[in-house]
A and B are shown apart, each in its own frame.
Chain A
Amino acid sequence: GAVVSQHPSWVICKSGTSVKIECRSLDFQATTMFWYRQFPKQSLMLMATSNEGSKATYEQGVEKDKFLINHASLTLSTLTVTSAHPEDSSFYICSGLAGGANEQFFGPGTRLTVL
């Protein structure tokens, strides 16, 4: 299957700082990218859906001003957690979907720990 990478794989930051997570589709063009978060022993919860060149669509309860998503190219989407707090500590996973396809390809995830 197609490959999606995420960087960094893990990050520790201080409360109040901002953290950027990159998601790249390495061998296909992802017209749509999804961002999920996963708490320990919980399901993956969809945070937002972004289409290349458009503003992201956020799920109910997800603060769009806190979780900034940019999908400026067909191979790169970024998630920026602004003014991070300890409750933002989680596992963030992205996935990409090629135009006209019906299978998402997932990145390996990024572990964020906010101290």
Chain B
Amino acid sequence: GNSVTQMEGPVTLSEEAFLTINCTYTATGYPSLFWYVQYPGEGLQLLLKATKADDKGSNKGFEATYRKETTSFHLEKGSVQVSDSAVYFCALRGGGSQGNLIFGKGTKLSVKP
């Protein structure tokens, strides 16, 4: 079945450091891939997505590229800020636009000033 594996946290970085959170997936067919972010006390928010191979999703300085050859969708940001501290979830959806989301375990990021 479909599954998502993402690096375990917590990840602690200094402000302006480079961020990578690894995510790999197992899926049949051609899933859509997502990164969600959950700030303290809030619900999950869609951060970015990619719907086909080689697509790059980007938002708020974060980027992730859908790599079918390596079944990966790693999240990157060149210079993190304290306000980026949150839990990040990688997810996939197969089976059409209203298929179920399958989530990774989440990676907690803490950015220190």
Residues on A lying within 8 angstroms of B by beta carbon are 1, 4, 32, 34, 41-44, 46, 49, 93, 95, 97, 102-109
Contact = CB atoms under 8 A, between A and B. Distances in A.
A93 B106 contact: no
Given A43-B4, A43-B106, A44-B89, A109 B101 contact: no
A108 B43 contact: yes
Contacts of A106: 36, 43-45
A95 B36 CA distance: 13
Interface string B76-113: 00000000000001000000011011111110000000
B93 to A, nearest CB: 9
A114 B48 CA distance: 36
Nearest to B93: A102
> On chain B, which size bracket covers the interface?
10 to 19
In the complex, the 7 A-B pairs of residues with the closest C-beta atoms, listed nearest first: A106-B43, A106-B44, A102-B97, A44-B103, A43-B103, A108-B43, A43-B105
B28 to A, nearest CB: 18
B98 A93 contact: no
Given A43-B4, A105-B43, A32 B105 contact: no
B45 A97 contact: no
